[in-house]
Structure 1
Amino acid sequence: MAATNWLQRAANAVRAFRDSDHPGISLARDILWVVAVVGGIALILYLFAGTWPAVVTIESESMVPHMNVGDLVFVVDENRFGGLVTWAEGQMIGYSSFGDYGDVIVYRPNGADSVHPIIHRAMIYLDTEGVIESGLGAYYDEPHGGYITKGDNNPYTDQPNLMISGIGVIEPVKEEWVVGKALAAVPLIGYLPLHLPEFAAVVILIIIIHDLILARREEKEV
């Protein structure tokens, strides 16, 4: 009986929230609707891609001309739609993506979550630790095996030529550092995530103005 009463009270509260004409509650309904839509899209993307984030935005020119600043890139699990193929492997089997051999991967540099992931092409895979030549004419001992990556527009590979503040020299990419591989890119759409706070503020402002206009119309009709 107590459970039935609780359910009835909850149903009445939901009904009152849904049918209320109060401006504040109306605004809350609109915001919840936006959140539900965005959350639903995110869930669908995750189920399709098998990884998160399922989309990334190109923020630099390191992949020009195959990916440009503002492109929105769809990312899937590295083993979805076939295994991950390096540039060296792609050259042998004739597999290419985004204008060159092999797959473009998204990875966390040195496994760090404190910086944005990097999206570059997987060039080769080192099975074990070893010594590789940098583009600067020097040799470096690599601490472990992993993918050697490179931006299509960069003269040198990331390892060991790229250094990130607070992270250090970028190491070969371990498999667990790989977020996923790039599947497709949509030009310009990526500018939206780059300016997400501004966009969210505009949407909320539009909702508030819309609700105020409706409230005034209802007052005039009364």
Structure 2
Amino acid sequence: MRKNAVLIVAIIAIAAVLGLRVAVNEMSGVSPPFTVVDSQSMQHSHDSEVGIIDTGDMILLRDTSKHEPVTYVEGYSSGYRMFGEYGDVIVYERPGQNQVIHRAILYLESNGDGTFTGRGLESYTGKWSCHDSGTDTSNPSEPSKLSGTLEMENIGYGGKKVSIDLSVLSGSGYLTMGDNADTNGYFDQGSGITSGLVTDDRVKATAWKEIPWAGSVKLIMNGNDGALNSWAPSSLGYLTAALATIFMTIIGIGFALDALHLRKALKGGH
């Protein structure tokens, strides 16, 4: 009886997981609907934190047709936050290289004359400036005619000050950056992570939900456990505890069902 109860609970759990997978695929619109984080570039500390993108996390993705990315600048004005900071985190492609999962900071629209419009800068109350040939165009001046060097201050939890020479950019797209204040102190476009703005066609998805530590197993199987040991040493312990909790919950439900069946049998015997 006890084994049967546990088996029933296990079957129900497996069915629930399969049903959840189908639902996630439908809501995500991306195939596969998840990615595993294998670097420290989005971490806010050396320890793994729920709600922050850490090494070893599995991140569920959402197609941009279902949710258009909100930049840090736009999120700062509206209060919209994801994964511990303003704005959305996007997954973008790099030709011949691994995909990158970093935060969208600002969308620059080319005006076709060498200048850019910074989308959302007109209502952004954070500190920024744009210097061109010695001229300082500071907020809330013309965010629709940006040229020269764009500077932004107090970005993210680490209060980073970042800048980019707009003359090396062309077209329209996102300025992006990892959250980690220790390892990612520059825009991706100024640190060699990617060349040029992240155009709309390079954005694969937005980061949607975090499944903490769930990607740790994949990193270990791929021989990348060094990343876990270096940047999220607590991940394996948390993952083990989570799996043990799930297992014990299934066993506990099985015992509860067994006790319920026994009680009914005793009542029936009287």
- Structure-2-length-normalised TM-score: 0.50
Corresponding residue number in structure 2 for 1:76: 62
SS of the aligned residue for 1:78 comes to coil
**Is 2:53 the counterpart of 1:67?**
yes
Which of 191, 194, 217 aligns to 1:161? It is 191
- Structure 1: stretches of 5+ with no match in the other structure: 1-37, 164-168, 199-222
Corresponding residue number in structure 2 for 1:52: 31
Amino acid at match of 1:141: V
Corresponding residue number in structure 1 for 2:100: 118
Q: Deviations for 1:100-124, whole angstroms, at most 9, x for unmatched residues?
A: 1000000002xx2x32210000000
Residues in 2 aligned to 1:189 and 1:150: alpha-carbon distance in whole angstroms = 24
Kindly state the Cα deviation for residue 58 of structure 1 after the two structures are TM-superposed: 1.0
Contact 1:59 1:69 (8 Å CA) reproduced: yes
Kindly state the Cα deviation for residue 79 of structure 1 after the two structures are TM-superposed: 3.6
Change (3 A) 1:146 1:40: same
SS of the aligned residue for 1:121 comes to strand
Kindly state the Cα deviation for residue 78 of structure 1 after the two structures are TM-superposed: 2.0
**Is 2:216 the counterpart of 1:182?**
no
Contact 1:140 1:160 (8 Å CA) reproduced: no
Residues in 1 aligned to 2:79 and 2:19: alpha-carbon distance in whole angstroms = 38
Contact 2:164 2:187 (8 Å CA) reproduced: no
Contact 1:148 1:159 (8 Å CA) reproduced: yes
SS of the aligned residue for 1:117 comes to strand
Residues in 1 aligned to 2:202 and 2:177: alpha-carbon distance in whole angstroms = 16
Amino acid at match of 1:91: Y
Which of 137, 151, 175 aligns to 2:178? It is 151
Higher helix content, 1 or 2: 1
SS of the aligned residue for 1:108 comes to strand
Q: Deviations for 1:20-47, whole angstroms, at most 9, x for unmatched residues?
A: xxxxxxxxxxxxxxxxxx9998765432
SS of the aligned residue for 1:91 comes to helix
Q: What is the percentage of aligned positions where both structures have the same residue?
A: 31
- Structure-1-length-normalised TM-score: 0.59
Change (3 A) 1:98 1:176: same
Kindly state the Cα deviation for residue 195 of structure 1 after the two structures are TM-superposed: 4.1
Amino acid at match of 2:168: D
Within 5 A, what are the aligned runs for 1:12-27?
none
Change (3 A) 1:119 1:137: closer
Kindly state the Cα deviation for residue 184 of structure 1 after the two structures are TM-superposed: 1.2
Amino acid at match of 1:97: M
Residues in 1 aligned to 2:20 and 2:221: alpha-carbon distance in whole angstroms = 16
Q: Deviations for 1:98-154, whole angstroms, at most 9, x for unmatched residues?
A: 111000000002xx2x32210000000011165564857766421221011000011
Aligned Cα root-mean-square deviation (Å): 2.8
Within 5 A, what are the aligned runs for 1:91-106?
91-106=76-91
Kindly state the Cα deviation for residue 54 of structure 1 after the two structures are TM-superposed: 1.2
Corresponding residue number in structure 1 for 2:168: 141
Residues in 2 aligned to 1:133 and 1:162: alpha-carbon distance in whole angstroms = 17
SS of the aligned residue for 2:186 comes to coil
Residues in 2 aligned to 1:106 and 1:142: alpha-carbon distance in whole angstroms = 20
Contact 1:87 1:124 (8 Å CA) reproduced: yes
Kindly state the Cα deviation for residue 197 of structure 1 after the two structures are TM-superposed: 6.2
Q: Which has the higher contact order (CA 8 A, sep 6+)?
A: 2
